Amino acid sequence: MRPKFKIQNSKGRQAVSVPPHARFRRLRYSPALREMTAETRLHPSQLILPLFVCAGRGVRRAVPSMPGVFRLSPDQIVRDLKEAEKLGLRAFILFGVVDARQKNPSGSEALRRNNVVCETLRMVKKAGIRMAAITDLCFCEYTSHGHCGPITRLRKTDVQTVDNNATLALLGRQAVIHAEAGADVIAPSGMMDGMVAAIRFALDRADFQHLPILSYAVKYASAFYGPFRDAAGSAPGFGDRRSYQMDGRRRREARLEALADLEQGADMIMVKPGLPYLDILRDLRETANAPLASYQVSGEYAMIKAAAKNGWIDEECVMMETLTSIKRAGADLILTYFAREAARLLN
Protein backbone atom coordinates (compact mmCIF):
# COMPACT_ATOMS: atom_id res chain seq x y z
CA MET A 1 0.00 0.00 0.00
CA ARG A 2 1.20 3.47 -0.89
CA PRO A 3 1.71 5.59 2.23
CA LYS A 4 -0.95 8.25 2.64
CA PHE A 5 -0.18 11.89 3.35
CA LYS A 6 -1.94 13.18 6.41
CA ILE A 7 -3.40 16.62 5.99
CA GLN A 8 -4.31 18.49 9.14
CA ASN A 9 -6.98 21.08 9.43
CA SER A 10 -6.56 24.29 11.43
CA LYS A 11 -7.38 22.50 14.68
CA GLY A 12 -4.52 20.09 14.11
CA ARG A 13 -6.81 17.14 13.48
CA GLN A 14 -6.51 14.90 10.48
CA ALA A 15 -8.96 16.03 7.82
CA VAL A 16 -8.40 13.93 4.71
CA SER A 17 -5.75 11.70 3.45
CA VAL A 18 -4.54 11.81 -0.17
CA PRO A 19 -1.63 10.27 -2.04
CA PRO A 20 1.29 12.76 -2.04
CA HIS A 21 1.49 13.09 -5.83
CA ALA A 22 -2.10 14.13 -6.42
CA ARG A 23 -1.47 17.85 -6.47
CA PHE A 24 -2.67 19.08 -9.86
CA ARG A 25 -3.06 22.52 -8.40
CA ARG A 26 0.71 23.05 -8.28
CA LEU A 27 0.66 24.05 -11.94
CA ARG A 28 -2.33 26.33 -11.51
CA TYR A 29 -1.05 28.75 -8.88
CA SER A 30 0.47 31.42 -11.11
CA PRO A 31 -0.41 32.88 -14.50
CA ALA A 32 3.13 32.05 -15.65
CA LEU A 33 2.73 28.35 -14.83
CA ARG A 34 -0.71 28.21 -16.41
CA GLU A 35 0.55 29.92 -19.53
CA MET A 36 3.59 27.67 -19.92
CA THR A 37 1.56 24.48 -19.50
CA ALA A 38 -1.28 25.50 -21.82
CA GLU A 39 -1.57 22.89 -24.55
CA THR A 40 -4.02 24.81 -26.66
CA ARG A 41 -3.05 28.13 -28.14
CA LEU A 42 -4.98 30.51 -30.31
CA HIS A 43 -3.29 32.78 -32.81
CA PRO A 44 -4.89 35.40 -35.07
CA SER A 45 -3.51 33.59 -38.15
CA GLN A 46 -5.85 30.70 -37.37
CA LEU A 47 -9.00 32.81 -37.45
CA ILE A 48 -10.96 33.42 -40.64
CA LEU A 49 -13.24 36.44 -40.87
CA PRO A 50 -16.60 35.99 -42.66
CA LEU A 51 -17.79 39.09 -44.55
CA PHE A 52 -21.06 39.86 -46.33
CA VAL A 53 -20.82 41.99 -49.44
CA CYS A 54 -23.71 43.87 -51.05
CA ALA A 55 -23.95 46.34 -53.93
CA GLY A 56 -23.35 50.06 -53.59
CA ARG A 57 -20.82 52.49 -52.20
CA GLY A 58 -20.33 53.52 -48.59
CA VAL A 59 -22.96 50.99 -47.48
CA ARG A 60 -22.78 49.53 -43.95
CA ARG A 61 -26.11 47.82 -43.22
CA ALA A 62 -26.30 46.24 -39.78
CA VAL A 63 -27.52 42.65 -39.42
CA PRO A 64 -30.01 42.91 -36.52
CA SER A 65 -29.56 39.33 -35.29
CA MET A 66 -25.75 39.61 -35.39
CA PRO A 67 -24.65 42.70 -33.46
CA GLY A 68 -21.33 43.98 -34.83
CA VAL A 69 -21.82 42.32 -38.24
CA PHE A 70 -22.65 44.43 -41.30
CA ARG A 71 -23.49 43.94 -44.94
CA LEU A 72 -20.81 46.02 -46.61
CA SER A 73 -20.39 47.46 -50.09
CA PRO A 74 -17.07 46.51 -51.78
CA ASP A 75 -15.30 49.77 -50.81
CA GLN A 76 -16.21 49.17 -47.17
CA ILE A 77 -14.97 45.58 -47.39
CA VAL A 78 -11.59 46.97 -48.46
CA ARG A 79 -11.67 49.39 -45.55
CA ASP A 80 -12.46 46.67 -43.03
CA LEU A 81 -9.85 44.32 -44.46
CA LYS A 82 -7.10 46.92 -44.03
CA GLU A 83 -7.99 46.96 -40.34
CA ALA A 84 -8.25 43.17 -40.13
CA GLU A 85 -4.85 42.76 -41.76
CA LYS A 86 -3.29 45.02 -39.12
CA LEU A 87 -4.76 42.76 -36.42
CA GLY A 88 -2.86 39.81 -37.87
CA LEU A 89 -5.78 38.04 -39.53
CA ARG A 90 -4.59 36.18 -42.63
CA ALA A 91 -7.83 35.17 -44.32
CA PHE A 92 -11.41 36.19 -44.90
CA ILE A 93 -14.37 34.43 -46.49
CA LEU A 94 -16.76 36.33 -48.69
CA PHE A 95 -20.53 35.86 -48.99
CA GLY A 96 -22.52 37.71 -51.64
CA VAL A 97 -25.81 39.40 -50.74
CA VAL A 98 -28.11 40.34 -53.61
CA ASP A 99 -31.62 41.72 -53.62
CA ALA A 100 -34.72 39.80 -54.59
CA ARG A 101 -34.84 41.38 -58.08
CA GLN A 102 -31.55 39.72 -58.98
CA LYS A 103 -32.68 36.24 -57.96
CA ASN A 104 -34.11 33.55 -60.20
CA PRO A 105 -34.63 29.77 -60.03
CA SER A 106 -31.12 28.94 -61.31
CA GLY A 107 -29.31 31.68 -59.36
CA SER A 108 -27.68 32.99 -62.53
CA GLU A 109 -26.45 36.15 -60.77
CA ALA A 110 -23.85 33.91 -59.12
CA LEU A 111 -22.32 33.33 -62.56
CA ARG A 112 -22.13 36.97 -63.63
CA ARG A 113 -18.51 38.10 -63.97
CA ASN A 114 -19.27 41.51 -62.47
CA ASN A 115 -21.37 40.45 -59.51
CA VAL A 116 -20.58 41.89 -56.07
CA VAL A 117 -18.32 39.03 -55.06
CA CYS A 118 -16.14 39.33 -58.18
CA GLU A 119 -16.12 43.11 -58.00
CA THR A 120 -14.97 42.93 -54.39
CA LEU A 121 -12.23 40.39 -55.12
CA ARG A 122 -10.79 42.67 -57.77
CA MET A 123 -10.93 45.74 -55.50
CA VAL A 124 -9.30 43.86 -52.63
CA LYS A 125 -6.44 42.70 -54.83
CA LYS A 126 -5.99 46.16 -56.31
CA ALA A 127 -5.81 47.64 -52.81
CA GLY A 128 -2.80 45.42 -52.12
CA ILE A 129 -4.44 43.40 -49.36
CA ARG A 130 -2.45 40.21 -48.89
CA MET A 131 -4.94 38.24 -46.81
CA ALA A 132 -6.12 35.02 -48.44
CA ALA A 133 -9.45 35.64 -50.16
CA ILE A 134 -11.72 32.64 -49.65
CA THR A 135 -15.02 32.59 -51.51
CA ASP A 136 -18.08 30.68 -50.34
CA LEU A 137 -19.31 28.72 -53.32
CA CYS A 138 -23.06 28.16 -53.22
CA PHE A 139 -26.27 29.25 -54.90
CA CYS A 140 -28.63 29.73 -51.96
CA GLU A 141 -27.86 33.46 -51.83
CA TYR A 142 -28.81 33.78 -55.52
CA THR A 143 -31.78 31.48 -56.13
CA SER A 144 -35.34 32.79 -55.82
CA HIS A 145 -36.31 29.66 -53.85
CA GLY A 146 -33.28 29.95 -51.55
CA HIS A 147 -32.00 26.42 -52.10
CA CYS A 148 -28.36 25.63 -52.86
CA GLY A 149 -28.88 24.84 -56.55
CA PRO A 150 -31.61 24.47 -59.19
CA ILE A 151 -34.63 22.42 -58.15
CA THR A 152 -35.75 19.26 -59.84
CA ARG A 153 -38.74 17.03 -59.28
CA LEU A 154 -37.58 13.47 -58.77
CA ARG A 155 -39.38 11.26 -61.28
CA LYS A 156 -41.90 8.82 -59.86
CA THR A 157 -41.70 10.02 -56.23
CA ASP A 158 -42.67 13.64 -56.89
CA VAL A 159 -40.07 14.85 -54.36
CA GLN A 160 -38.77 18.33 -55.05
CA THR A 161 -35.09 18.75 -54.28
CA VAL A 162 -31.85 20.31 -55.46
CA ASP A 163 -30.63 18.77 -58.72
CA ASN A 164 -27.24 17.37 -57.69
CA ASN A 165 -25.57 16.94 -61.07
CA ALA A 166 -26.94 20.11 -62.61
CA THR A 167 -25.56 21.96 -59.60
CA LEU A 168 -22.11 20.37 -60.06
CA ALA A 169 -21.77 21.86 -63.51
CA LEU A 170 -22.81 25.28 -62.22
CA LEU A 171 -20.41 25.06 -59.26
CA GLY A 172 -17.54 24.42 -61.65
CA ARG A 173 -18.41 27.58 -63.56
CA GLN A 174 -18.85 29.63 -60.37
CA ALA A 175 -15.44 28.46 -59.10
CA VAL A 176 -13.69 29.53 -62.29
CA ILE A 177 -15.41 32.92 -62.20
CA HIS A 178 -14.24 33.46 -58.63
CA ALA A 179 -10.74 32.32 -59.54
CA GLU A 180 -10.58 34.72 -62.46
CA ALA A 181 -11.64 37.58 -60.21
CA GLY A 182 -8.86 36.81 -57.72
CA ALA A 183 -10.04 34.21 -55.20
CA ASP A 184 -7.19 32.46 -53.38
CA VAL A 185 -9.24 29.57 -51.97
CA ILE A 186 -12.57 28.14 -53.12
CA ALA A 187 -14.92 26.95 -50.38
CA PRO A 188 -17.95 25.00 -51.64
CA SER A 189 -20.72 24.89 -49.01
CA GLY A 190 -23.70 23.38 -50.82
CA MET A 191 -23.27 19.71 -49.79
CA MET A 192 -23.72 18.36 -53.31
CA ASP A 193 -22.18 14.93 -53.77
CA GLY A 194 -19.13 15.12 -56.01
CA MET A 195 -18.79 18.89 -55.67
CA VAL A 196 -15.08 18.82 -54.89
CA ALA A 197 -14.22 16.65 -57.92
CA ALA A 198 -16.34 18.82 -60.19
CA ILE A 199 -14.73 22.04 -58.94
CA ARG A 200 -11.22 20.57 -59.09
CA PHE A 201 -11.81 19.48 -62.67
CA ALA A 202 -13.17 22.87 -63.69
CA LEU A 203 -10.38 24.79 -62.00
CA ASP A 204 -7.64 22.61 -63.47
CA ARG A 205 -9.07 22.88 -66.95
CA ALA A 206 -9.14 26.68 -66.65
CA ASP A 207 -5.47 26.79 -65.57
CA PHE A 208 -6.10 27.21 -61.86
CA GLN A 209 -4.31 24.02 -60.80
CA HIS A 210 -2.72 25.94 -57.94
CA LEU A 211 -5.93 27.10 -56.24
CA PRO A 212 -6.79 25.14 -53.08
CA ILE A 213 -10.28 23.95 -52.16
CA LEU A 214 -11.57 24.25 -48.61
CA SER A 215 -14.56 21.94 -48.61
CA TYR A 216 -17.48 22.31 -46.24
CA ALA A 217 -17.21 18.53 -46.17
CA VAL A 218 -19.20 17.96 -43.00
CA LYS A 219 -22.09 20.37 -42.80
CA TYR A 220 -25.05 19.46 -40.65
CA ALA A 221 -28.58 20.74 -41.22
CA SER A 222 -28.74 23.21 -38.36
CA ALA A 223 -31.05 25.77 -36.83
CA PHE A 224 -27.89 27.64 -35.84
CA TYR A 225 -27.72 29.07 -39.39
CA GLY A 226 -30.78 31.24 -38.77
CA PRO A 227 -29.10 34.64 -38.36
CA PHE A 228 -26.87 34.00 -41.40
CA ARG A 229 -29.94 33.46 -43.53
CA ASP A 230 -31.25 36.84 -42.37
CA ALA A 231 -27.92 38.44 -43.25
CA ALA A 232 -27.62 36.83 -46.66
CA GLY A 233 -31.33 36.62 -47.45
CA SER A 234 -30.83 32.93 -48.17
CA ALA A 235 -33.54 31.17 -46.18
CA PRO A 236 -35.18 28.41 -48.24
CA GLY A 237 -38.51 29.54 -49.64
CA PHE A 238 -40.05 26.08 -49.21
CA GLY A 239 -39.03 23.06 -47.20
CA ASP A 240 -35.62 22.88 -45.57
CA ARG A 241 -32.11 21.68 -46.38
CA ARG A 242 -32.39 18.23 -44.82
CA SER A 243 -32.28 16.45 -48.16
CA TYR A 244 -28.70 17.62 -48.71
CA GLN A 245 -27.22 18.78 -45.39
CA MET A 246 -26.33 16.11 -42.82
CA ASP A 247 -28.51 14.70 -40.06
CA GLY A 248 -27.21 15.59 -36.58
CA ARG A 249 -27.96 12.11 -35.32
CA ARG A 250 -25.30 10.58 -37.56
CA ARG A 251 -21.74 10.64 -36.31
CA ARG A 252 -19.93 8.04 -38.41
CA GLU A 253 -21.16 9.53 -41.68
CA ALA A 254 -18.90 12.51 -41.02
CA ARG A 255 -15.87 10.30 -41.68
CA LEU A 256 -17.36 9.11 -44.96
CA GLU A 257 -18.03 12.66 -46.08
CA ALA A 258 -14.57 13.90 -45.09
CA LEU A 259 -12.69 11.05 -46.72
CA ALA A 260 -14.78 11.31 -49.89
CA ASP A 261 -13.94 15.00 -50.23
CA LEU A 262 -10.23 14.41 -49.60
CA GLU A 263 -10.24 11.69 -52.24
CA GLN A 264 -11.81 14.11 -54.67
CA GLY A 265 -9.00 16.57 -54.06
CA ALA A 266 -10.09 18.80 -51.17
CA ASP A 267 -7.03 20.48 -49.67
CA MET A 268 -8.73 21.42 -46.40
CA ILE A 269 -11.99 20.30 -44.87
CA MET A 270 -14.49 21.93 -42.56
CA VAL A 271 -16.96 20.87 -39.91
CA LYS A 272 -19.99 23.06 -39.37
CA PRO A 273 -21.45 24.23 -36.97
CA GLY A 274 -18.76 24.56 -34.29
CA LEU A 275 -19.59 24.08 -30.64
CA PRO A 276 -22.52 21.64 -31.02
CA TYR A 277 -20.33 19.35 -33.17
CA LEU A 278 -17.02 19.18 -31.29
CA ASP A 279 -17.20 15.38 -31.11
CA ILE A 280 -17.30 15.28 -34.90
CA LEU A 281 -14.35 17.66 -35.11
CA ARG A 282 -12.35 15.36 -32.84
CA ASP A 283 -13.30 12.31 -34.93
CA LEU A 284 -12.03 14.01 -38.06
CA ARG A 285 -8.85 15.19 -36.38
CA GLU A 286 -8.13 11.53 -35.74
CA THR A 287 -9.23 10.35 -39.18
CA ALA A 288 -7.73 12.85 -41.58
CA ASN A 289 -4.43 14.68 -41.69
CA ALA A 290 -5.48 17.58 -43.89
CA PRO A 291 -5.90 21.00 -42.27
CA LEU A 292 -9.21 21.03 -40.46
CA ALA A 293 -11.47 24.04 -40.06
CA SER A 294 -14.48 24.60 -37.82
CA TYR A 295 -17.18 27.19 -38.46
CA GLN A 296 -18.52 28.92 -35.36
CA VAL A 297 -21.75 29.85 -37.10
CA SER A 298 -24.11 32.79 -36.90
CA GLY A 299 -26.44 31.32 -34.27
CA GLU A 300 -23.54 30.54 -31.95
CA TYR A 301 -22.34 34.13 -32.31
CA ALA A 302 -25.83 35.57 -31.85
CA MET A 303 -26.43 33.60 -28.64
CA ILE A 304 -23.22 34.86 -27.06
CA LYS A 305 -23.96 38.44 -28.12
CA ALA A 306 -27.53 38.29 -26.81
CA ALA A 307 -26.62 36.81 -23.44
CA ALA A 308 -23.78 39.31 -23.02
CA LYS A 309 -26.07 42.21 -23.87
CA ASN A 310 -28.37 41.09 -21.06
CA GLY A 311 -25.42 41.00 -18.69
CA TRP A 312 -25.84 37.26 -18.22
CA ILE A 313 -22.38 36.22 -19.35
CA ASP A 314 -19.00 37.88 -19.84
CA GLU A 315 -18.71 38.23 -23.60
CA GLU A 316 -14.92 38.27 -23.89
CA CYS A 317 -14.44 35.28 -21.62
CA VAL A 318 -17.15 33.21 -23.29
CA MET A 319 -15.83 34.12 -26.74
CA MET A 320 -12.30 32.98 -25.85
CA GLU A 321 -13.56 29.90 -24.06
CA THR A 322 -15.59 28.76 -27.08
CA LEU A 323 -12.74 29.41 -29.51
CA THR A 324 -10.32 27.56 -27.25
CA SER A 325 -12.72 24.61 -27.05
CA ILE A 326 -12.96 24.43 -30.82
CA LYS A 327 -9.17 24.57 -31.09
CA ARG A 328 -8.74 21.93 -28.39
CA ALA A 329 -11.22 19.60 -30.12
CA GLY A 330 -8.92 19.60 -33.14
CA ALA A 331 -9.46 22.60 -35.39
CA ASP A 332 -6.47 24.16 -37.14
CA LEU A 333 -8.62 27.02 -38.41
CA ILE A 334 -11.76 28.67 -37.09
CA LEU A 335 -14.22 30.69 -39.13
CA THR A 336 -15.76 33.11 -36.66
CA TYR A 337 -17.58 36.42 -36.60
CA PHE A 338 -15.47 37.12 -33.51
CA ALA A 339 -12.22 37.00 -35.54
CA ARG A 340 -11.38 40.69 -35.06
CA GLU A 341 -12.38 40.88 -31.41
CA ALA A 342 -10.44 37.72 -30.61
CA ALA A 343 -7.37 38.93 -32.53
CA ARG A 344 -7.46 42.19 -30.62
CA LEU A 345 -7.41 40.30 -27.33
CA LEU A 346 -4.68 37.94 -28.48
CA ASN A 347 -2.38 40.76 -29.62
Mind telling me the catalytic residues?
219, 272
Bridge partner list, 70: 62
Burial class (CB in 10 A: 0-12, 13-18, 19+), 86: exposed
Q: How far is the CB of 229 from ligand PBG (least distance, A)?
A: 6
Q: Is 53 in the site for ligand PBG (CB under 6 A)?
A: no
Toward ligand PBG, which CB reaches closer, 66 or 197?
Answer: 66
Residues 262-301 that bind ligand PBG (CB under 6 A): 297-298
Binding-site size, ligand PBG (CB under 6 A): 12
Residue 54's Cα: distance from chain center in Å? 20
Q: Is 177 in the site for ligand PBG (CB under 6 A)?
A: no
Toward ligand PBG, which CB reaches closer, 15 or 235?
Answer: 235
Q: Is 225 in the site for ligand PBG (CB under 6 A)?
A: yes
Stretch that binds ligand PBG, among 13-21, 28-36, 110-118, 221-229 (CB under 6 A): 221-229
Q: Is 229 in the site for ligand PBG (CB under 6 A)?
A: yes
Q: DSSP string spanning 212-271?
A: -BEEEEEEB--GGGHHHHHHHT---SSS-STTTSBPTT-STHHHHHHHHHHHTT-SEEEE
Q: Is 213 in the site for ligand PBG (CB under 6 A)?
A: no
Instruction: State the Cα angle at 51 between 79 and 307, rounded to 5°.
Output: 110
Q: Is 140 in the site for ligand PBG (CB under 6 A)?
A: yes
Contacts of 190 (CB under 8 A, 6+ apart): 137, 138, 139, 140, 148, 149, 162, 167, 171, 216, 244
Q: How far is the CB of 77 from ligand PBG (least distance, A)?
A: 17
Q: Is 148 in the site for ligand PBG (CB under 6 A)?
A: yes
Site for ligand PBG, rule CB under 6 A: 136, 138, 140, 148, 189-190, 225, 228-229, 234, 297-298
